Amino acid sequence: MSGPREIFRTVDQLATRTPTLPPATHTNSYAIGGRDVLLVEPATPYADEQRAWLAWARSLPSRGRRPIAVVATHHHADHVGGAAALTRELGLPLWAHAETASLLDVPVTRRLADGDVITLAGPIEERWTVLHTPGHAPGHVCLWNEDERVVIVGDMVASVGTILVKPGDGDMGAYLEQLERLACLDAQCALPAHGDPIEHPTGLFRWYIEHRRKREAKILAVVARSGPPGATAEAILPDAYDDVPASTWPIALLSVRAHLEKLAREGRVRETPGARYVAAP
Ligand SMILES: [Zn+2]
């Protein structure tokens, strides 16, 4: 925890320590709104960090700001580790997408859906539009303020560390589609869950898409080279990730699997017995 920080007039950030994916160590929470305030990301599960988070939330009314709800962008532990304790302590409702709600044991009072507009009363009324952006997690949402051209992006991109899309709760195809959608917003600033605010983020959104497409092309090339009986994800990994340190391979293996799932769904590779993949004819 490094102390709260004002990002804009009506957006404050507090980073707290969380069990997140290294090299990231913290998750950002945001207080948005000039009078009615949403607290985004009840992230930290640690008691000392929760005390700091609560002190931050309780300091807002002295500046004329009144928290009305806590919002979780998605269900991962480094985003909702404090959901139960922090909403209970503040007596605030938790808002999240229905897919996130179904994965939490904390009651979700309002289910956020794509296109919902949350109006925050204040000296300047703020309107934040909910964007359902699945891919990293099925119920992932972003919050978009079109007037200020600011978007809270959760784990869609990060300025510290990498974004993991893994089979199970991740979907590489959906993730790329949603990055494309974020790139089309023409946002001035993106506020990620990990790392500093990103000015003019369109280029970064496009870079993420490009990076994944290049990786996918490499995976496809390795599959094509392998021939029958096909290659396993483990066998594809060293060639597809030959440009990154082997220490990252355990995580990279999950990405290989997510890409293979997408390619199989698109009919570009075929899964054969023994979890091997061959190029589709
Ligand atoms: Zn996440």
Query: Domains (ranges, CATH) in the chain?
Result: 5-200 (3.60.15.10), 213-279 (1.10.10.10)
| 93 touches 87 (CB < 8 A) | yes
Predicted pLDDT at 217: 97
Position 1 scores a pLDDT of 54
Residue 25 CA to ligand 1 center (angstroms) comes to 13
Per the listing, tokens 């009506």 go with 10
Task: Find out whether 134 and 119 touch, Cβ atoms under 8 Å.
Answer: no
Q: pLDDT per residue over 128-167, tens digit each?
A: 999 999 999 999 999 999 999 999 999 999 988 789 999 9
* C-alpha 73 – ligand 1 centre gap (Å): 9
Helix (H) and strand (E) counts for the chain?
A: 8, 16
For ligand 1, the distance from its centroid to the CA atom of residue 280, given in whole angstroms, is 32
Ligand 1 center–CA 152 separation, angstroms: 14
Strands 117-120 and 269-272: unpaired
Distance, CA of 75 to chain centre: 10
C-alpha of residue 79 to centroid of ligand 1, in Å:
7
CA of 281 to the centre of ligand 1 (A): 36
Closest CA to 200 of 263, 151, 133, 129: 151
- What sign does the dihedral 175-176-179-184 (CA atoms) show? negative
pLDDT tens sequence across 12-29: 999 999 998 888 899 999
Phi, then psi, of 158 in degrees rounded to 5: -145, 150
Count the neighbouring beta carbons within 10 Å of the beta carbon of residue 164: 15
Share of the chain above pLDDT 90, in %: 86
CB neighbours (10 Å) of residue 12?
Answer: 22
Average pLDDT over the chain reads 95
- AA identity, residue 93: P
According to the model, what pLDDT value does residue 222 have?
Answer: 96
97 CA distance to ligand 1 centroid (A)? Answer: 14
Closest CA to 138 of 187, 176, 97: 97
Q: Which of 260, 29, 258, 21 lies closest to 163 in space, CA to CA?
A: 21
192 Cα to the center of ligand 1, angstroms? 11
Centre of ligand 1 to C-alpha 219, Å, is 24
Residue 101 to residue 139: CA distance in whole angstroms: 8
What distance in angstroms lies between residue 78's CA and the mean position of ligand 1's atoms? 7
SS3 73: coil
Q: For residue 151, give every residue at least 6 positions away whose Cβ sits within 8 Å of its Cβ, in sequence order, or none.
A: 131, 142, 143, 144, 145, 182, 185, 187, 189, 190, 191, 201
**Closest to 52 in 3D by CA, of 79, 15, 87, 106:** 15
Separation of 163 CA from ligand 1 center, angstroms? 8
Task: Give the per-residue pLDDT at 175.
Answer: 97
Expressed in angstroms and rounded, the spacing between residue 198 Cα and the centre of ligand 1 is 18
Using alpha carbons only, how large is the chain's radius of gyration in Å?
A: 20
- Residue ranges for the chain with pLDDT beneath 70: 1-2
